[in-house]
Amino acid sequence: MPLLDSAISFFGIACLLGLTPGPDNLFVLMHSAVQGRRSGMLVVLGLCTGLLVHTAAVALGLAAVFATSALAFTVLKLFGAAYLVWLAWQAWRAPDAPAQATTSAAGDQSQGTGAWRAYGKGVLMNITNPKVAIFFLAFLPQFADPAQGGMVLQLLSLGGIFILATLLTFSVIAYFSGVFGAALRRSPRAQRVMNRVAAVVFLGLAARLSFVQR
């Protein structure tokens, strides 16, 4: 386990990184504005689940594969970019106002499906970004000290702290973006504009990921 002062310092840095504009928090921002804060929070949970995967990969040494293999890095980033393009297409084609369920049962089923879809978007968004794996590989070991015990346990602990910081900062983004978006979603025209903006943002993120280098 990392020392308390190191853990606090690491948590502070992780919070600052969570608030720094990047693909994940921009995704949370736009998704929450368009789909609502509840859906945005589910995306946040999905992103944090993806961070669990990256933490485990670093602890087990799997992240080194993406740092050393050009093929693995390229395949994963192109898959992630293609997924973002698909999200952009979905946002562009989204209706100007959310469809209303005709029955309560249909509404419950739609909400359940939508919840899993939002959560899955967050997971895929995070795990298909090889830069996150490489960032964890470079960032986490800097706060681990072999003299303090097993490195695997320390890396897992640091990953857990980073996930907690991400959950807190991204939840704040999702909440306020969802509140702001709720006011705009009352207008079909504003909803249309938000959908188009979201599509452009997702395309921009796809382009950025496509050209990223190790």
**pLDDT at 106 (0 to 100):** 45
Low-confidence residues of the chain: pLDDT under 50: 99-109
Residues 67 and 137: beta-carbon distance below 8 Å: yes
**Token pair of 65 as six digits:** 């594969």
What whole-number percentage of the chain has pLDDT above 70?
A: 86
**pLDDT at 101 (0 to 100):** 39
Across 98-194, the runs of DSSP E, i.e. the strands, are none
Question: Which residue's structure tokens are 């991204």?
Answer: 170
Report how far residue 151's alpha carbon sits from residue 157's, in angstroms, rounded to the nearest whole number: 10
**pLDDT at 2 (0 to 100):** 59
**pLDDT at 132 (0 to 100):** 85
**pLDDT at 214 (0 to 100):** 61
6 CB contacts (<8 Å, ≥6 apart)? 143, 145
In this structure, what are the phi and psi dihedrals at residue 213, rounded to the nearest 5 degrees? -115, 160
**pLDDT at 112 (0 to 100):** 63
**pLDDT at 1 (0 to 100):** 56
Residues 35 and 184: beta-carbon distance below 8 Å: no
Across 63-134, the runs of DSSP E, i.e. the strands, are none
* pLDDT tens profile 119-177: 999 999 899 887 788 888 778 877 877 677 777 888 888 999 999 999 999 999 999 99
